[in-house]
């Protein structure tokens, strides 16, 4: 049985022709079968594409259908690429059949567990990274016109008093802070770029500043660690209030980036049967 084009099939069944068993076989093989070919289309789910014969490939995109190698391929996790470390299939976009480079979409175990836990999970994206460990995991160079942290959730009023940036901290913490404050046409402006590190809020915690201000040092922004060993906060203030009267409200605008994600250093202890990724045994 062979797949034929429409012209050949039409000739098999033209007026006066007696189609053979082989002609009928070619006709059957030349049309899509939902079960055998793994294609279906429904109003509820749209186009459905399934793997064939346990192959990981889903879609091959070609410049010409007669060419053997695709320009792009879409496939589930395959041996050597699109790792299956968490027992759930990743979706991979390859250039041609080159499994060394591509785009990978992966789900966390919560999503793979089903609808009950899917709201707790997140999607991971890997670029040239076959089994992404983070929401965006890139094996390569990133170029961007800018970079910004998450806007702070707590309001920091520029009234000269201390206000919490982030509270309820425990263990080892590290943050990058970019902040600015000012009042238009006042001649009072300040910028702060800082790294704030703390280990259980010990006295050896460190805050490194890069400061800029237009007028007086009194306009500068400051940070400090406060609290106990297992419940502490990072606070911010301006040295002198920017507010000139009771009706005026001026706020520090700031962005926060977390830099450390293992507060109790549990990943530093090698576990049996698990590869250590911290750089040492």
Total structural domains in the chain? 2
pLDDT at 280 over 50: no
Residue 167 belongs to some domain of the structure: yes
Residue 224 belongs to some domain of the structure: yes
Phi first, then psi, for residue 15 (nearest 5°) are -55, 130
Q: Which residues contact 9 (CB under 8 A, 6 or more apart)?
A: 23, 26, 27, 30
Residue 107 belongs to some domain of the structure: yes
Note whether 51 and 109 are same-domain residues: yes
How many angstroms from the chain centroid is the CA of residue 158?
A: 34
Note whether 168 and 128 are same-domain residues: no
**Furthest-apart CA pair in the chain: how many Å?**
100
Which of residues 138, 170, 205 is at a domain's end?
138
Residue 16 belongs to some domain of the structure: no
Q: Give the CATH number for residue 222.
A: 2.60.40.1680
Q: What is the pLDDT of residue 138?
A: 93
- Across 173-181, average pLDDT: 98
Q: To the nearest whole number, what is the mean pLDDT of the chain?
A: 85
pLDDT at 279 over 50: no
Residue 270 belongs to some domain of the structure: no
Cα(212)–Cα(189) distance, rounded to whole angstroms? Answer: 8
Residue 71 belongs to some domain of the structure: yes
pTM of the model: 0.74
Half-sphere CA count of 244, side-chain side, radius 13 A = 4
Q: Which residues contact 262 (CB under 8 A, 6 or more apart)?
A: 172, 268
Note whether 226 and 206 are same-domain residues: yes
Q: What is the pLDDT of residue 227?
A: 96
* Least confident residue range of 79-88, 204-213, 236-245: 79-88
Please tell me which residue, 255 or 204, carries the higher pLDDT value: 255
Note whether 240 and 168 are same-domain residues: yes
pLDDT in tens, 13-49: 888 888 888 877 777 777 776 677 777 888 888 888 8
Note whether 185 and 251 are same-domain residues: yes
Cα separation values, 91 from 71, 81, 260, 270, Å: 17, 10, 29, 30
Note whether 188 and 248 are same-domain residues: yes
pLDDT at 254 over 60: yes
Residue 265 belongs to some domain of the structure: no
Note whether 120 and 91 are same-domain residues: yes
Note whether 126 and 198 are same-domain residues: no
Note whether 170 and 252 are same-domain residues: yes
Half-sphere CA count of 57, side-chain side, radius 13 A = 15
Cα(165)–Cα(145) distance, rounded to whole angstroms? Answer: 27
Note whether 163 and 130 are same-domain residues: no
Q: Starting at the edge strand that comes first in sequence, how are the strands of the sheet with 163-169 ordered?
A: 163-169, 232-238, 221-227
Residue 28 belongs to some domain of the structure: no
Note whether 61 and 114 are same-domain residues: yes
Note whether 219 and 134 are same-domain residues: no
Length of the chain: 281
Supply the range of the domain harboring residue 156: 150-258
User: Partners of 210 in the beta sheet?
Assistant: 193
Q: What is the pLDDT of residue 234?
A: 98
Show the 3-state SS of the chain: CCCCCHHHHHHHCCCCCCCCHHHHHHHHHCCCCHHHHCEEEECCCEEEECCCCCCCEEEEECCCCCCCCCCEEEEECECCECCCCCCCCCEEEEECCEEEEEEEEEECHHHHCCHHHHCCCCEEEEECCCCCCCCEEECCCCCCCCCCCEECCCCEECCCCCEEEEEEECCEEEEEEEEEEEECCCCEEEEEEEEEEEECCCCCCEEEEEEEECCCHHHCEEEEEEECCCCEEEEEEECCCCCCCCCCCCEEEEEEEECCCCCCCHHHCCCCCCCCCCCCC
């Amino acid at each position: 049985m062979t797949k034929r084009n429409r012209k050949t099939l039409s000739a098999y069944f033209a007026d006066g022709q007696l189609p053979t068993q082989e002609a009928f076989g070619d006709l059957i093989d030349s049309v899509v079968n939902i079960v055998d070919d793994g294609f279906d289309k429904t109003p509820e789910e749209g186009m459905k594409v399934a793997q064939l014969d346990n192959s990981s490939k889903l879609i091959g995109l070609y410049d010409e259908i007669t060419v053997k190698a695709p320009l792009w391929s879409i496939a589930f996790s395959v041996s050597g690429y699109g790792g299956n470390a968490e027992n759930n299939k990743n979706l991979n976009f390859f250039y041609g059949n080159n499994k060394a480079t591509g785009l990978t979409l992966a789900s966390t175990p919560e999503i793979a567990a089903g609808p009950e836990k899917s709201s707790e999970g997140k999607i991971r994206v890997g670029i040239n990274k076959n089994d992404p460990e983070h929401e965006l995991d890139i094996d390569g160079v990133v170029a961007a016109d800018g970079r910004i942290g998450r806007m702070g959730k707590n309001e920091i009023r520029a009234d000269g008093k201390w206000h919490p940036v982030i509270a309820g901290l425990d263990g080892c913490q590290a943050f990058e802070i970019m902040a600015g404050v000012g009042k238009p046409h006042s001649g009072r402006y300040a910028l702060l770029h800082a790294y704030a590190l703390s280990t259980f809020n010990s006295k050896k915690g460190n805050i490194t500043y890069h400061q800029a201000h237009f007028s007086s040092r009194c306009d500068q922004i400051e940070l400090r660690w406060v609290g106990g060993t297992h419940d502490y906060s990072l606070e911010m203030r301006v040295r002198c209030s920017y507010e000139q009267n009771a009706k005026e409200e001026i706020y520090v605008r700031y962005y926060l980036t977390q830099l450390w994600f293992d507060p109790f250093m549990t990943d530093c202890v090698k576990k049996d049967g698990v590869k250590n990724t911290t750089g040492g045994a």
